Amino acid sequence: MLDHEKYMRMALKEAVKAYQQGEIPIGAVLVNNEDGQVVATGFNLREQTMDATAHAEMEAIRKGCQALHRWRLSGCTLYVTIEPCAMCAGALVNSRIDRLVYGSNESKFGAVESIFNVVNHKLLNHRMEVVAGVLEDECRQLMKSFFHMRRLQNKARKQKQHELDC
Ligand SMILES: [Zn+2]
């Protein structure tokens, strides 16, 4: 049995890397269920790569498939700090992963419980175990503090621009 909090802490560390690079702080870790080895990690890189698909989960899935030399991630668990969006939830279904563990739900784009349920849809050919709410507060706080910081920065920028204009 995997220690969910231990791996979620690793995912949080990945999210902090994103934060430090000015990216929305979401991190992911892919783990082998058999031996608990970390197969791949990823964090959101959308701004730097100018790639709409560079979400934390996609990075971990892509790197994980390369590391395992297979596109099937059966036998693995993906840990991610925030509820996956429709794209990432779809990628998880396509990867045939066994289990998804996430921290905080996301009311604006979440595709596991908030808006849709892509990962356990009765008409899809693959379903996975889902564990939600692991280190929920930490995961949510990181997002909150990022958006708070960004609002302050935008305010400061506008203020500066206003002074230059006057
Ligand atoms: Zn996503």
E strands, 3-75, in order: 27-32, 38-43
Determine the distance from the C-alpha atom of residue 114 to the mean position of all C-alpha atoms in its chain, rounded to a whole number. 15
Please report how the helices 86-95 and 56-68 are oriented relative to each other, as an axis angle in degrees rounded to 10: 20
Helix axis angle, 56-68 relative to 4-20, nearest 10°?
120
Distance CA 43, CA 111 (A): 18
Note the pLDDT of residue 166.
79
For residue 149, how far is its CA from the centre of ligand 1 (angstroms)? 22
The Å distance, Cα 146 to ligand 1 centre, comes to 18
Q: Could you read off the pLDDT of 97-142 as tens digits, one per residue?
A: 999 999 999 999 999 999 999 999 888 888 999 999 999 999 999 9
Q: Residue 95 pLDDT more than 90?
A: yes
Provide the annotated active-site residues. 57
For residue 151, the tally of other CB atoms under 10 A from its CB is: 10
CA of 155 to the centre of ligand 1 (A): 28
Match 């590391």 to its residue by tokens.
Answer: 67
Cβ partners under 8 Å of residue 1, min gap 6: none
3-state class of 130 per DSSP? strand
Residue 1 has pLDDT above 90, yes or no: no
Q: Please tell me the distance between residue 86's alpha carbon and the centre of ligand 1 in angstroms.
A: 7
pTM: 0.94
Compute the distance between CA of residue 78 and CA of residue 84 in angstroms, rounded to an integer: 11
* Amino acid occupying residue 152: L
Q: How far is the CA of 106 from the centre of ligand 1 (A)?
A: 11
What is the rounded average pLDDT of the residues 14-25?
97
pLDDT at residue 164, as a whole number? 86
